Amino acid sequence: MKFLRLLLVLVALAALPPAPEAHAGERPLPDPVEGSRLFVRKGCVVCHAVDGEGGKIGPDLGRVSTGRSLLGIAAVMWNHSPIMTERIKEVKATRPKLTPEEMANLFTFLTYTGYLDVPGDPKRGADMFRDRGCARCHGVGGSGGGIGPSLDRFKRYVSPISLATAMWNHGPQMQTMMQQLGVVRPQLSGGDIADLLAYIRAAGRGGPEGAIYLLPGNPQRGAQVFEEKRCATCHGGRDAPGGIGPSLRRTREGQKRGLTEVVALMWNHGPAIWKKMAELGIPVPSLTGQEMADLVAHLYSLHYFDEPGRSDRGRDAFASKGCAACHGPAGRGGAGAPDLTKTLGKASPIEIAATMWNHGSAMAQEARTRGLPWPNLEGRDLADLVEFLRAGGRKK
C-alpha cells in the first residue's frame, strides 16, 4: 500500500548532528508530527502559538523561529531562559525537561512549519495570469490561449510542486515560444506562484474530484538528486561551495526561503542556468514531481545547518560572555561548575541545545546568586563555543 512507504523524515536530516552517519543508526529520525505533539505535551503551547494557534504569553514560534539554524534556535531559547522560567512560574506550570531526541523532534517541527507556504490569492493569480502573458498561451477553465496546454490538470494539486515541475521541465520550450511571441518573461516571487495555483484551482474545469496531496519532500533524497542532476557542479555540495553559481545555503538569519520561493528562483534564473549548462555541456535535467519535492526540501533544509565554528572565536566568546567565570578559562570546570569539555565536548549540537535548556533554570539561578549578567548568545557564538569545547578548551 502506498501509505506504507511513507517517510516521516521531512527535515530529518536537518536535526541530525554534523556527523549524521555516526548517530543515524542509534536514534530514530526526527519527526515533525511527534514534535507537534511534544509541543502540546510538554506545555510549550500554554505560552506559545505556532502560526496563531496556541498560547499568547510568549511569541508565536511560527514567526520567530523560521529561517533560524539549529544552534540559532538553541541560542534564542538560551537567551530567553530566565524570563521563560519566570513566566512558567506565573502560569503555575513546570519547566519541561527535554531529551535530545525530544529536542530534535521539536526543532524539526518548528523548522518544518516554515517550509509550508500559505495558500495564494486566486484574484491576484487571475490578474497575474492575464497581465503577465500566461493567458497568451495557456487556458484555464475554458478561457485563455491554446498554444500551450491547458492548465486545468493542475486543479487537483494543492501543492505548487507539480506546477513548478512542469514549469521547470518545459522551461526551455516556453522560453523559445515566449521569445517568438514577444512575451516578456515574467519575474516571479514565491507568492506569485501560490497565487497562480490558487487561480487555477478556483477556475479550472474538468477532471476527477478531490485534492491530491504530496508527501513532503525528503531532504536526504533531495541531496542525492542535487548530486545526480549535477546541480552541485555549479552550486557546490552541502559542505563545499561550487563557485560557478551562488551558494544555495546562505540566507539571511531570520529570512525564510520557503518552497515556492525556491521554485520562483529556479524560474527566474532559468535562462541563465540553461545557458551555463549548455556551455558546460550539461543536459538540462528533467525532474519528476517527487524529485522536485525532494530537491526543494533539501535546499530548504540547508539553512538549518550551522557553518562550522572557530575554536579561537569560541575561546574569546567563552571569556567575554562570562562562561569562564564559573566553568574556568578552558571550560574545564571550577567554582562548582562542571567540566564542559567533558560534558559537551563530544556532544552533538542537538545534545548541546537540550543540555543548555535543561540546565538553563539552575544556571540562571546561579548567575543571579553570583551577580553575573545572563550572557546573550547568537547562533554563531554557539557554533564557535562548540568548536572550542570540542578542542578540549584549547585554541586551535
Partner 1 sequence: MRVTRRGFFGWTGAVAAAAAGAQTVRAIGDLQAATYEAELPPRGIEGWVASVCQQCPGGCGILVRTITGVEDGVKRAVKIEGNPYHPISRGSICPKGVAGLQALYDPDRLRGPLKRAGARGQGQWQPVSWDEAIATVVQHLRDLRARGEAHTLLLMAGQVRGLMQNLLLRFLEAYGSPNSLSTASGCEAAQQTLLLTQGIAEPIAYDLENSAYILSFGASLLEAGWSPVRQARAYGHLRQGTPGRRGRLVQVEPRLSVTAAKADEWIPVRPGTDGALALAMAHVIVSEGLYDREFVDAWTFGFEDWRDPAGTTHLGFRSLVLNDYRPEAVSAMTGVPIQTIVRVAREFTATRPAVALAERGAGFYTNGLYNRLAIHALNALVGSIEVPGGTVTQRRPPFTPLTPVTRDAAAVRGLAAPRIDGAGYPALSGLGAAKNPLASSALPSLPEALRTGSPYRANALFLYYANPAYSIPEFTRNPELLDAIPFIVSFSPFPDETSRHADLILPDHTYLERWQDDPIEATWGPAVLGLRQPAIPPRHQTRHTGDVLIQIAQGLGGTVAAAIPWKDFGEVLKESFREVAGAQRGLIMTTPFEEARQRRQADAGFWLPTYKTFDEFWNQVAERGGWWDPAYPFGDRERAFRTPSGKFEFFSQTLRQRLETLARRGPASGGGLEGVLRALDIRARGDRVFLPHHEAPRFVGDEKEFPLHLIMSKPMSLASTRTANHAWLAEIPDVRTSRPWEIAVEINPETAHKLGVKDGDEVWLESPAGRLRLRARLYQGIAPEVVHMPFGSGHGAGGRFAEAWGANPNRLVGGEADRLAGTPALFATRVRITKV
- Give one word for 383, left, alpha or beta, with left for phi > 0 and alpha for psi -120 to 50: alpha
Among 144, 171, 204, 360, the residue binding partner 1 under the rule CB under 8 A is: 204
Among 68, 138, 201, 310, the residue binding partner 1 under the rule CB under 8 A is: 201
* Contact set for partner 1, span 102-131 (CB under 8 A): 109, 113, 115-119, 122
In the complex with partner 1, which residue's Cβ is closer, 291 or 381?
A: 291
Q: Which of 374, 386, 373 is nearest to 308 (CA)?
A: 386
Per-residue burial over 223-247, b = 16 or more CB atoms within 10 Å of its CB, e = otherwise: bebbeebebbbbbbebeeeeeebee
Among 24, 27, 43, 45, the residue binding partner 1 under the rule CB under 8 A is: 45
C-alpha cell at 345: 565536548
Tell me if 378 contacts partner 1 by CB under 8 A. Answer: no
Beta strand pairing call for 143-144 and 53-54: unpaired
Instruction: Count the neighbouring beta carbons within 10 Å of the beta carbon of residue 17.
Output: 19
Among 22, 91, 147, 211, the residue binding partner 1 under the rule CB under 8 A is: 211
Instruction: Count the neighbouring beta carbons within 10 Å of the beta carbon of residue 2.
Output: 6
Q: Which stretch binds partner 1 (CB under 8 A): 14-22, 47-55, 166-174, 320-328?
A: 47-55
- Give one word for 158, left, alpha or beta, with left for phi > 0 and alpha for psi -120 to 50: alpha
* Contact set for partner 1, span 219-278 (CB under 8 A): 259
In the complex with partner 1, which residue's Cβ is closer, 156 or 238?
A: 156
Tell me if 215 contacts partner 1 by CB under 8 A. Answer: yes
Tell me if 177 contacts partner 1 by CB under 8 A. Answer: no
- Long-range CB contacts (< 8 A, 24+ apart) of 83-89? 84/47, 84/58, 85/360, 85/361, 85/364, 87/47, 87/57, 87/58, 88/47
C-alpha cell at 238: 552541502
Q: Which stretch binds partner 1 (CB under 8 A): 5-13, 80-88, 302-310, 369-377?
A: 5-13
Lookup result for grid cell 522560453: 175
Tell me if 203 contacts partner 1 by CB under 8 A. Answer: yes
First to last CA, the chain: 53
In the complex with partner 1, which residue's Cβ is closer, 259 or 330?
A: 259
In the complex with partner 1, which residue's Cβ is closer, 2 or 252?
A: 2
* Contact set for partner 1, span 301-360 (CB under 8 A): none
Torsion of CA 71, 73, 75, 76, to 10 degrees: 170
Tell me if 53 contacts partner 1 by CB under 8 A. Answer: yes
Cα–Cα distance between 376 and 82 in angstroms, integer? Answer: 11
In the complex with partner 1, which residue's Cβ is closer, 49 or 354?
A: 49
Contact 172, 160 (CB under 8 A): no
Tell me if 135 contacts partner 1 by CB under 8 A. Answer: no
Radius of gyration of the chain (CA): 24
Tell me if 191 contacts partner 1 by CB under 8 A. Answer: no
Q: Which stretch binds partner 1 (CB under 8 A): 2-10, 11-19, 234-242, 249-257?
A: 2-10
Among 19, 21, 52, 208, the residue binding partner 1 under the rule CB under 8 A is: 52
Q: What residue ranges bind partner 1 (CB under 8 A)?
A: 1-4, 6, 8, 10, 32-33, 36-37, 39-40, 45, 50-54, 109, 113, 115-119, 122, 141, 155, 157-161, 201-206, 209-211, 213-216, 259
